[in-house]
Structure 1
Amino acid sequence: MSKKSVAFVLNIHLPYVRHLEYPRFLEEDWLFEAISESYLPMLRMLYKLRADKVAYKLTVSLSPPILCMLTDPALQNRFNSYLELHRELGEKELVRCRTEQPEFLEMAEYYLEQLKQNLTDFNDLYRCNILEGFKSLETSGHLELITTAATHAYLPLYKEYPTAINAQVELAVQSFLTTFGHVPKGFWLPECGYYPGLEETLKYHGITWFQVASQSMLLSPEKVNFGDYRPVRCPNGVAAFPRDYQATSLVWSNTSGYPCDRNYREFYRDIGYDLPMEYIGEYIHQPEVRVFTGFKYWAITGPTDQKQPYDRSLAQSKVAEHAKNFLYNLEMKGDVLSASMGEDPLYTLCFDAELFGHWWFEGVDWLDQVLRLSSREEEQVTLVTPSLFLATENDLQVVRPAFSSWGQGGYSSVWLDGSNAWIYRHIHKSIERMEELAVRFSDQISLKQRFLNQAAREVLLSMASDWPFILYNKTSSEYAQKRLTDHLRNFNVVYGNMCKNAVNTEWLVKAEKRDIIFPDIDYNIFNPQR
């Protein structure tokens, strides 16, 4: 029986957010929610599969900002405080639900148990550093860990600045090597953003493969023999794995994907917005800023405000059904593809890891079922990593992928439209000026070296794809705009001082304490003459 190979590639990334100048900071919850609702539950699931001798293979990309934040003692302490606060809320919810809403008591107990388990795992199992969990799973051969651009920049919009592209790749590889002790083989292209020639920089830094959007094959100047269902080699030998849009959409689509099922939990209905301020006030942000608490008791139900109570047992039956349906779709489609291609297909399925558990509450359970089912001998689907696939499949077509992304429309419209286009003239100018500084003041030492390193750090942080994405979606636009302008303003502090051959020491010390990312950065990375 032929086997259809599946490569799951999960990207773990969040923007670098660290504001120790405040007791609590709203946007730090992005990280804490992801750890609590996605990363820790996913690690528990993967550890359980390993203990049960389930043979599975997954690929996980960890961005440098995530690596920095997950190993930051200050943020680790703040996450513990976040868990303790929510555990306190959970205890309070048990009392309230028993008397006021007994139909929600089962879920209140479930949430409290998960919070207690997260506290135990985080402190006792991982010693506050969950990267140890991913390292262990890599060592046992269940995960392939890879990296992505240094600040998750959308690279096609910086094509004209090769020093900036190189800095994004080089620092990413350096950060990964420092954390995991080896150079990654794969590279997650942020937003699947690819332009012809990018693979040259990747190859220079030891990368052997990357993922691309499906239309990169459809629009290639050469005829691609197997479409999205086999990787190809770029002319320089680096492999490109096209994302299978159709199979991914079974999960990813926000209109027809599995997470839309009416029996699954509603993400947007939360007691942080539903309950009176006198009850919920101490668990939200000051002054009276309502936020998600994670205590959600309603099912999706449908496009209505009149939601049905969430039934976890019913949702779990849907999880099993959807896992079987997913594999069935891959098998049936694979039979047709194998007959027409003369080769068994490879499905490359790329997701943001936060989809599982955070956005789609049942997502971790669904992934667990898919991994368990696919490990059975009678299944026609087998899990691989891209590196493992390349080790056994050497005869790949040589193709030049086309410029593309996984964003709406397939190109750059999400990261370059009327809401955010204004940012690029400023970021591009800061890159040009950073190159100027690196040439004029090459190989500095002591304070000037640190000053210039901070300038490079500010440029890279301004390049993050998160800021234009947030502006485009009009979610936390005020924060995104402030972060962008702050990074650009900070860079100009260095540029202005260095043009006078001076160092603002007081400002530098504060900046270094604020942004601890890339501690080993060398500003000469921006020198186009090196």
Structure 2
Amino acid sequence: MTPAPSGEFALVLHTHLPLLAGHGVWPVGEEWLFQAWSGSWLPVTRVLERLAEDGRRDVLTLGVTPTVAAQVRDPRLARDLGTWLAGQQWRSEEQRWHRHLGPQVVELATYYWRHFADLLAYHTDVESRGGLTTVWAELARAGVIELLGGPATHPYLPLVPDPAEIDAQLADGLAAQVDWAGERPRGLWAPEMGYRPRGPVADPTAPPLHVDASGSPTLPRRGPPLPGLEEHYAAAGIDHVLLDTATLWRGAGHADRDWVAAEFLTDAEAAQLPERFTGVLIGDSDVAAFPRDLEVGGHVWSAASGYPGDVWYRDFHAHGTFGTQPSWRVTDRHLPSDAKQPYEPAAAAARVQAHAEHFAGVLRKTLAARPDGVVVCAYDTELFGHWWFEGPAWLETLLRRVADDPALTTTTLASRRQRRPPRRRLALPESSWGYAKHHASWVGAATRPMWQTLDDARVRARTALAGGRGVPELREQLARELALLTTSDWPYMVLRGNTADYGERRVRGHADAVAHLADLVEADRGPDAEAERLRAVDRAPTRVDALLAALDPPG
């Protein structure tokens, strides 16, 4: 007799980059976009298409933010990606003549030439079928994947002080997805897995009341009590979201802990959180929160012990010299890049098989005692291929092993929500997936001026737009620029990334755009050269109807 599946595995991927088109090339800008598009989005989609051809269904849940959808639907960017991939082939050929790097590196030239030729052929095929969004929509209609929605420009929702702005971000973001996917999503990847319950909003522009050892600020509150985020989600038709395990841990009444020093729950702690395998309903709402599993998922994403750090995998940071592809393996995490050993694709492929088998074993062991449970592993899509070169191969190997294992089954969050909805209700605390699970990845002394700039821009935009002033194209672009200013990536780049200058530059640029457009609107003028430039460059979010109405509510 074939044993019944002992539990379910819900893999969730979050496909997100901010609007990069027209805003620089390298090291941050369109080069980053093309790296993620070619390195992750195309290979992961190809994996999903192969699984679909084999009859696999309910494979995984794919979140696609409106800024990503807008960029992959841009014909100019799609053409430029083809040119970029062809350029990578030439770069691979150039590697053949870098003989001072040793024969193993030279021999990788052919490997990389074929790799990029294959990607270019697949990209060409995808574009001939309508592009990535068309393929994703077809996979969703076939039941292979669930598509999650997202707010228009990926703002850090816990710190948005205006309920109307939250509703507008959701409305325009979800409507944009209907445009390309054909239906409205029921699930949402909350940006940065941020959550805020009902109450006054924390003020990131004010000096903190206290900063703990991890750098997490306790912020003063401002304004009247506002609805919890789950109330906004329910009003938008969303019935399930992703949150961090730490959010449920504290919501279940457990004392907070040091999530930096100990990123995983101990066995004793995990036993105190059965909601890890069921999810919860948030407060009095019918919105389900599914937590990303730190212990199981950490086998991939942990910087200290995750698979991508294996000595045989390609080292993301060892780029080599001009005219070569990254051609060195991790070797030893403590070695400098110029001391790494050459990459060996066959050896890396063997580790992919071993790590996929190990992960499947972890799933079997974890779910064996929980016949009704689900393990939710959530990652940025860009981890697979862009950051972890072997990631797409590992993903396909794992999903095939799970599908062939009678003790395991894959599920989407929507399918799980429908068949086994959570029963327990929890009032959840303010939190995120970020450093120390609070606001420390977005709020600090270095970003306080950015948050003040955003507040000032909100006031400036509302003042200018009041009463319906301005020509429609300027009003819409003003709402668009303000929405882009709220993108959560900008403060994150300053506090947790390595491109602080880019984040600061983007904030200044969008704030200046708001000011310029507001001047034109107030003067009752038409578009000038700068306004036309902004309209040509900043074309996402594609929908701003709700955002504009939130700034200038109908009388």
State whether TM-score is above 0.5: yes
1:404 is the counterpart of 2:431: yes
Distance in 2 of aligned mates of 1:461 and 1:375: 40
Distance in 2 of aligned mates of 1:333 and 1:25: 41
Contact 2:59 2:411 in 1 (8 A): yes
Q: What code does the residue aligned with 1:419 have? A: A
What does 1:156-305 correspond to in 2, within 5 Å?
Answer: 156-158=158-160, 160-196=161-197, 197-220=228-251, 226-234=274-282, 235-271=284-320, 274-275=321-322, 280=323, 294-305=325-336
Which residues of structure 1 form unaligned runs of 5+? 281-292
Residue 466 of structure 1, aligned match among 468, 489, 492: 489
Contact 1:11 1:351 in 2 (8 A): yes
Q: Measured at CA, do residues 503 and 441 of structure 1 come closer, stay the same or move farther in structure 2, by a change above 3 Å?
A: farther
Paired residue for 2:521?
498
Paired residue for 2:155?
153
Distance in 2 of aligned mates of 1:350 and 1:492: 38
Q: The residue matched to 1:375 in structure 2 has which SS?
A: helix
Residue 462 of structure 2, aligned match among 412, 419, 435: 435
Q: Post-superposition shift, 1:413?
A: 0.4
Residue 505 of structure 2, aligned match among 482, 502, 519: 482
Q: What code does the residue aligned with 2:279 have? A: P
Contact 2:249 2:273 in 1 (8 A): no
Distance in 1 of aligned mates of 2:124 and 2:76: 14
Distance in 1 of aligned mates of 2:552 and 2:13: 33
Distance in 1 of aligned mates of 2:449 and 2:63: 30
Q: Post-superposition shift, 1:144?
A: 0.7
Contact 1:185 1:207 in 2 (8 A): yes
Distance in 2 of aligned mates of 1:411 and 1:123: 43
Q: The residue matched to 1:83 in structure 2 has which SS?
A: helix
Q: Give aligned-pair identity as a percent.
A: 27
Q: Normalising by structure 1, what TM-score?
A: 0.88
Contact 1:497 1:503 in 2 (8 A): yes
Deviations, residues 157-199 of structure 1 (Å, cap 9, x unaligned): 11x2112212221111011011111101111011111112101
Paired residue for 1:287?
none
Q: Normalising by structure 2, what TM-score?
A: 0.85
Q: Post-superposition shift, 1:259?
A: 0.9
Q: What code does the residue aligned with 1:360 have? A: W
Paired residue for 1:93?
95
Distance in 2 of aligned mates of 1:519 and 1:485: 22
Q: The residue matched to 1:126 in structure 2 has which SS?
A: helix
Q: The residue matched to 1:14 in structure 2 has which SS?
A: coil
Paired residue for 2:397?
369
Distance in 2 of aligned mates of 1:357 and 1:67: 19
Paired residue for 1:507?
530
Residue 350 of structure 1, aligned match among 378, 386, 408: 378
Q: Post-superposition shift, 1:24?
A: 8.2
Which residues of structure 2 form unaligned runs of 5+? 198-227, 255-271
Q: The residue matched to 2:92 in structure 1 has which SS?
A: helix
Deviates more, 1:428-437 or 1:33-42: 428-437
Paired residue for 1:389?
416
Residue 415 of structure 1, aligned match among 442, 446, 465: 442
Contact 1:249 1:257 in 2 (8 A): yes
Distance in 2 of aligned mates of 1:350 and 1:3: 20
1:72 is the counterpart of 2:71: no
Q: Measured at CA, do residues 210 and 66 of structure 1 come closer, stay the same or move farther in structure 2, by a change above 3 Å?
A: same
Deviations, residues 295-334 of structure 1 (Å, cap 9, x unaligned): 3233443311221222222212211111111121222222
Contact 2:137 2:180 in 1 (8 A): no
Q: The residue matched to 2:29 in structure 1 has which SS?
A: helix
Q: Post-superposition shift, 1:206?
A: 1.3
Q: Post-superposition shift, 1:25?
A: 8.4
Distance in 2 of aligned mates of 1:356 and 1:199: 30
Q: Measured at CA, do residues 430 and 133 of structure 1 come closer, stay the same or move farther in structure 2, by a change above 3 Å?
A: same
1:51 is the counterpart of 2:53: yes
Contact 1:435 1:528 in 2 (8 A): no
Distance in 1 of aligned mates of 2:275 and 2:187: 21
How many residues align? The count is 499
Contact 1:459 1:488 in 2 (8 A): yes
Q: Measured at CA, do residues 93 and 503 of structure 1 come closer, stay the same or move farther in structure 2, by a change above 3 Å?
A: same
Q: Post-superposition shift, 1:92?
A: 2.4
Contact 2:186 2:414 in 1 (8 A): yes
Paired residue for 2:7?
4
Contact 2:480 2:541 in 1 (8 A): yes
Q: The residue matched to 1:164 in structure 2 has which SS?
A: helix
Contact 2:58 2:412 in 1 (8 A): no
Distance in 2 of aligned mates of 1:135 and 1:529: 34
Deviations, residues 119-172 of structure 1 (Å, cap 9, x unaligned): 1111134327222222232222111111122111111111x2112212221111
Q: Measured at CA, do residues 502 and 126 of structure 1 come closer, stay the same or move farther in structure 2, by a change above 3 Å?
A: closer
Q: What code does the residue aligned with 1:310 have? A: Y
Q: Post-superposition shift, 1:377?
A: 4.2
Deviations, residues 80-130 of structure 1 (Å, cap 9, x unaligned): 221121111122223546x96321344322211121111111113432722
Deviates more, 1:505-514 or 1:8-17: 505-514
Q: Measured at CA, do residues 261 and 492 of structure 1 come closer, stay the same or move farther in structure 2, by a change above 3 Å?
A: same
Deviations, residues 470-502 of structure 1 (Å, cap 9, x unaligned): 111352222221111010111112223334444
Distance in 2 of aligned mates of 1:419 and 1:103: 45
1:525 is the counterpart of 2:525: no
Contact 2:20 2:30 in 1 (8 A): yes
Deviations, residues 352-371 of structure 1 (Å, cap 9, x unaligned): 00000111111111111110
Distance in 2 of aligned mates of 1:105 and 1:248: 36
1:360 is the counterpart of 2:388: yes
Q: The residue matched to 2:377 in structure 1 has which SS?
A: strand
Contact 2:6 2:368 in 1 (8 A): no
- What is the RMSD of the two structures over their aligned residues, measured on CA atoms? 2.3
Q: The residue matched to 2:426 in structure 1 has which SS?
A: coil
Paired residue for 1:286?
none
Paired residue for 1:288?
none
Q: Measured at CA, do residues 395 and 461 of structure 1 come closer, stay the same or move farther in structure 2, by a change above 3 Å?
A: closer
Contact 2:327 2:342 in 1 (8 A): no
Q: Measured at CA, do residues 519 and 263 of structure 1 come closer, stay the same or move farther in structure 2, by a change above 3 Å?
A: closer
Distance in 2 of aligned mates of 1:318 and 1:18: 36
Deviations, residues 198-220 of structure 1 (Å, cap 9, x unaligned): 01111111111101111211111
Q: The residue matched to 1:414 in structure 2 has which SS?
A: coil
Q: Measured at CA, do residues 191 and 381 of structure 1 come closer, stay the same or move farther in structure 2, by a change above 3 Å?
A: same
Deviates more, 1:1-10 or 1:254-263: 1-10
Contact 1:126 1:133 in 2 (8 A): no
Deviates more, 1:367-376 or 1:307-316: 307-316
Q: Post-superposition shift, 1:239?
A: 1.1
